[in-house]
Chain A
């Protein structure tokens, strides 16, 4: 019985490993050795919740403490994000000659910043481009009103710029807005329920609660049944904000 459970655990771990692509990172130096086990995942790709429940049930059978593998939330999303972005870039490359400059949201904003434009100007520029379909806007930056959350976009650019400065040895000057938010202390070890207000976006919520808009996949993953295929969040939706120690 335990042996069977161990076999199940091995199969599940292998599937999770293959789905997340971890073995490729580990075996990067020896591509030939990997090939035999390579690219085909054994089990069908299942929603994360089912996988976690199955793992928990197996662990429970084995008598271990059934701690759900919340760590799986960040890793698959990062790999999926990278693969999806590359796929989107490839699909976009089919339509226009590769030599042409692809207009990206970040490119528009950076150029406007270099020209010294105001935040209000950038907000108008970005929303006009998005409305005309000239740029692709990630779902996380779409507010409940259907506008681009320029504030979050600018904040993430500032944060990246700060990271570069820190790497060069400067003293950190960026203060995460989250540290002054009373909700954040509560959020350290407990999930929170948050009701979407006008103007909110997934990226903005991640910035507010986690100090980094890049954590929005965690919020999305905790609310797939509510958010589903929607391209933006809606006012009044009650979203689970996962505890910070689960990130």
Chain B
């Protein structure tokens, strides 16, 4: 009996010893300690800050930016556009983005993207989707739109896009979503991560910096 107990302890000890040394006390969900995705051939890691005493500092701690223009946005960006939370954004990266059928778009201007964004996101500033941008159609085509004979665009094969900006008080991704809808992008292929960078950081989730430009 004792021998059996010792044997099981040895087995369990062996199994525990074989597991990664880093204990992940701060997991994403109970079943998900961290996420590794391959995007464009590059490994992207998303996990949470393991320091349980960590707090946010600086700009993303402000509670009362002037409204207008920094007003609270509704849950729904536009009819038919699904709103996402952090877990849904992570699932979007693991499923659609890794498979090449989706794009996570950071709608902020490049200066903000450069200070840190969600890993795997592409910077498509809201201004580039506005109708007055002569290059807008090039971007829509890169998202899968095709030109028809009458010079309008066909959106039947476009990628799924999830947009975010700085937080529920930021207007840039809602504006980008409206621009996409006005251009003809199907609503069911647009998703809105309302929480934005502020909520992403508040969860202690990984932030990526763009590589230094030579």
Binds B, one of A84-92, A122-130, A186-194: A84-92
Interface size in chain A (residues, C-beta < 8 A): 50
Chain B residues near A136 (CB, 8 Å)? 138
B129-155 vs A, CB cutoff 8 Å, 1 = contact: the mask equals 011111111110011000100011100
- Docked pose: A97 CA to B39 CA in angstroms: 8
Chain A proximity of B197: nearest CB distance (Å): 11
Q: Is the CB of A38 within 8 A of B127?
A: no
Binds A, one of B7-15, B62-70, B187-195: B62-70
**Which residue in A24, A36, A84 is a CB contact (below 8 Å) of B111?**
A24
Residue of A nearest to B42 (CB): A98
B28-45 residues with Cβ-Cβ distance < 8 A to A are 39-42
Chain A residues near B68 (CB, 8 Å)? 42
Q: Which one of B70, B103, B135, B165 has the greatest number of beta carbons of chain A within 10 Å?
A: B135
Q: Is the CB of B138 within 8 A of A83?
A: no
Q: Is the CB of B153 within 8 A of A229?
A: yes
- Docked pose: A156 CA to B152 CA in angstroms: 30
B102-142 vs A, CB cutoff 8 Å, 1 = contact: the mask equals 01000011111001000000111111101111111111001
Q: For the complex, is B59 an interface residue (Cβ under 8 Å from A)?
A: yes
Q: Is the CB of A95 within 8 A of B40?
A: yes
**Which residue in A36, A47, A87 is a CB contact (below 8 Å) of B124?**
A87
Chain A residues near B128 (CB, 8 Å)? 80, 83-84, 87
Chain B residues near A83 (CB, 8 Å)? 109-110, 125, 127-128
Q: Is the CB of B152 within 8 A of A42?
A: no
Q: For the complex, is A44 an interface residue (Cβ under 8 Å from B)?
A: yes
Residue of A nearest to B178 (CB): A44
Chain B residues near A96 (CB, 8 Å)? 40-41
Residue of A nearest to B133 (CB): A80
Q: For the complex, is A40 an interface residue (Cβ under 8 Å from B)?
A: yes
Q: Is the CB of B127 within 8 A of A32?
A: no
Q: Is the CB of B111 within 8 A of A98?
A: no
- Docked pose: A81 CA to B115 CA in angstroms: 21
Q: For the complex, is B166 an interface residue (Cβ under 8 Å from A)?
A: yes
Q: For the complex, is A19 an interface residue (Cβ under 8 Å from B)?
A: yes
Chain B proximity of A82: nearest CB distance (Å): 8
Evaluate whether A94 and B139 lie within 8 angstroms (CB atoms) in the complex, with A80-B127, A229-B153 already known: no
Q: For the complex, is A197 an interface residue (Cβ under 8 Å from B)?
A: no
Q: Is the CB of B170 within 8 A of A40?
A: yes
Chain A residues near B177 (CB, 8 Å)? none
A19-60 vs B, CB cutoff 8 Å, 1 = contact: the mask equals 101001000000110011011111011111000000000000
Q: Is the CB of A139 within 8 A of B172?
A: no
Chain B residues near A32 (CB, 8 Å)? 58-59
Q: Is the CB of B125 within 8 A of A87?
A: yes
B164-179 residues with Cβ-Cβ distance < 8 A to A are 165-166, 170-172, 175
Q: Is the CB of B39 within 8 A of A88?
A: no
Chain B residues near A94 (CB, 8 Å)? 39-40, 97, 100, 103, 122
Q: Is the CB of A39 within 8 A of B142?
A: no
Q: Which one of B126, B128, B133 has the greatest number of beta carbons of chain A within 10 Å?
A: B128
Chain A proximity of B211: nearest CB distance (Å): 9
Chain A residues near B39 (CB, 8 Å)? 94
Return 26 A-B CB contacts under 8 Å, by A number. A24-B111, A39-B108, A39-B111, A39-B170, A40-B172, A45-B126, A45-B130, A47-B132, A48-B132, A77-B134, A79-B127, A80-B128, A80-B135, A83-B125, A83-B128, A84-B138, A84-B139, A87-B125, A87-B128, A87-B139, A91-B122, A92-B142, A93-B40, A96-B41, A229-B152, A229-B153
Interface on A for B, CB 8 Å cutoff?
19, 21, 24, 31-32, 35-36, 38-42, 44-48, 76-77, 79-81, 83-88, 90-100, 136, 138-139, 217, 220-221, 224, 228-231
Question: What are the nearest 9 A-B pairs in CB distance?
Answer: A97-B41, A84-B135, A90-B122, A45-B130, A91-B142, A87-B124, A35-B59, A94-B40, A42-B69
